[in-house]
Amino acid sequence: MTSFDFRKSLLLLFGVLFLNSYSQASRELKSTSDAKITESVYFDISIGGKPVGKITIGLFGEVVPKTVENFKALSLGDRGFGFKNSGFHRVIKNFMIQGGDFTRGDGTGGKSIYGRTFADENFQLQHTGPGMLSMANSGKNTNGSQFFITTVATPHLNGKHVVFGKVTEGMEVVRMIESTSTDSSDHPQKAVVINDCGVATSKSSGTSWDRKVYGREM
């Protein structure tokens, strides 16, 4: 084999490896629109003590089951702690709204059902547009209870934060939160509170909302 043939074979090999790698990455980065919603939760929201509506969020339990189970349990409060009566502590217009810190309320607290934090499950889903639900973190493998809902596409967060759901109803409430006045640290000047939360169940008459603990209505 001549040196030219050797270089040609080498380039061909690298090309095949690159295509295989690209194909694998494409398979792993699933389209959010194709992800199946396995169950839903709801948040009843108030701003400044005034009820403003309900947000319903569909969860992608087949893609990120561990992350979904954590969020669902915190919405139910069936471990003795969770989102009820906690707030959205950080709001940035044309970016996202962040909540889930039910221990300190300022973005420095919270915990998961698995312990203080748990590892990134995967990054198969992307932050493709408004209404995507994703885990907030302070770096790799530091998921707890804090989450955010996007108000625009945020592709720069792909591969860094775990997407595990999307808003299916009540995006107008998300917009109300996004539009609330904030201070220089992005904290809402009027308290944005999750007054109640639980599992949303679809019935023939429409969508109903049940608070359940270990499968029993509360």
Give yes or no for residue 186 having a pLDDT over 70: yes
Give yes or no for residue 160 having a pLDDT over 90: yes
Query: Does pTM surpass 0.95?
Result: no
Of 107, 124, 27, the closest CA to residue 66 belongs to 124
Catalytic residue among 43, 71, 83, 98: 98
Q: Mark whether 98 is an active-site residue.
A: yes
Gap between the Cα atoms of 72 and 83, Å rounded: 10
3-state secondary structure 6-44: HHHHHHHHHHHHHHHHHHHHHHHCCCHHHCCCCEEEEEE
32 pLDDT band (50/70/90 cuts)? Answer: confident
Q: Which residue has the higher pLDDT, 60 or 8?
A: 60
Sign of CA dihedral 45, 119, 134, 58: negative
Q: Mark whether 161 is an active-site residue.
A: yes
Min mean pLDDT across 81-95, 107-121, 191-205 is at: 191-205
Catalytic residue among 59, 74, 133, 157: 157
Assign 93 to helix, strand or coil: coil
Q: Mark whether 148 is an active-site residue.
A: yes
Catalytic residue among 95, 122, 187, 211: 95
Catalytic residue among 43, 59, 70, 161: 161
Q: Mark whether 157 is an active-site residue.
A: yes
Catalytic residue among 137, 187, 195, 211: 137
Q: Mark whether 124 is an active-site residue.
A: no
